[in-house]
Amino acid sequence: MKSIEVSRHPLFCGVDAEVARNAIAAGVIRVVPQGATLHRRGEADPQLVLLISGSVQLFSSTADGEELMIALVRAPGLMGEAECMLGVPARTDSRALERCCVLEIDRRAVSAALAACPRFAANLARALADKLCGAEARQLALAFEPVEARLARLLVEYAEAYGLPVHGGIKIRVPLGQDQLASALGVARRSVTRALKSWTDGGVLAKQAGFYVISDLRPLRAALSLDAMAMAR
């Protein structure tokens, strides 16, 4: 990966060229295969991770293997911002949903860039604010939205991130099982099964060779809109 490609990451937008070069030179570029773990919760060496290509799932897991998805991060994205700035261990696990290229910058180099360039600090703050807004939205959804609306939101998010136009609709190019969807939402599988059956019977959704194909996104988006209206009332 050439440094010019890394320098186009939004974190370096408007940043002094020397500051960007020093931060990139201090980092380590890593290619992560699909399905591999990038980082595990509790790792003590905080790093700022720039996602140059690919996508990553952030999740939290229990001792008996149950998982709850925290977020999807797509290139060009950032991971580990809060941990790097606070100097605390990783708060989530992360797994490559597809082949990824990342640049990992240690905390000392990040601190040096923050001190040297206000624009770098502003870009990092903007990324943190964006994640905070996303976390607040997920918290509200967990508290107030029914499972069907939350599942619709998740499927729309996957379709927007990994959708491929195919005959019959949009194929989500990463394999998803009912157990995985239930774990992502933190609900029982039977709740997911009921919602999926309703959409499958209605011709909105189909499973082909292990991949979901959405024939029409409008009913899924309508489920979100109706729930938002109900919450507003």
Q: How far apart are CA 79 and CA 38, in angstroms?
A: 10
Q: At what angle do helices 189-201 and 147-162 cross, to 10 degrees?
A: 70
pLDDT in tens, 157-193: 899 888 999 988 999 998 888 988 888 887 888 989 9
pLDDT in tens, 32-87: 999 999 998 888 888 999 999 999 988 887 777 777 778 889 899 999 999 998 98
Instruction: Match 């099964």 to its residue by tokens.
Output: 193
Q: Using CA of residue 138, residue 141, residue 147, residue 151, what is the dihedral sign?
A: negative
Buried/exposed code over 147-170 (b: 16+ C-beta within 10 A; e: otherwise): bbbbbbbbbbebbebbbeeeeebb
pLDDT value of residue 43: 85
For residue 178, which amino acid is it? Q
Kindly list the structural domains of the chain, giving each domain's residue range(s) and its CATH number in brackets, ordered by start.
3-141 (2.60.120.10), 145-232 (1.10.10.10)
pLDDT, residue 228, reads 46
Of 23-32, 129-138, 154-163, minimum mean pLDDT range: 129-138
Enumerate residues 6+ apart whose C-beta is below 8 A from 63.
Answer: none
Which pLDDT score is estimated for 201? 92
Distance CA 100, CA 35 (A): 10
Looking at the predicted structure, is the pLDDT value of residue 231 above 90?
Answer: no
Q: What share of the chain is helix, strand, coil (3-state, %, to 5)?
A: 50, 25, 25
Q: Is the CB of residue 98 less than 8 Å from the CB of residue 54? A: yes
Q: Can you list the alpha helix ranges (DSSP code H) found in the chain?
A: 3-6, 17-26, 81-86, 107-116, 118-144, 147-162, 178-185, 189-201, 218-232
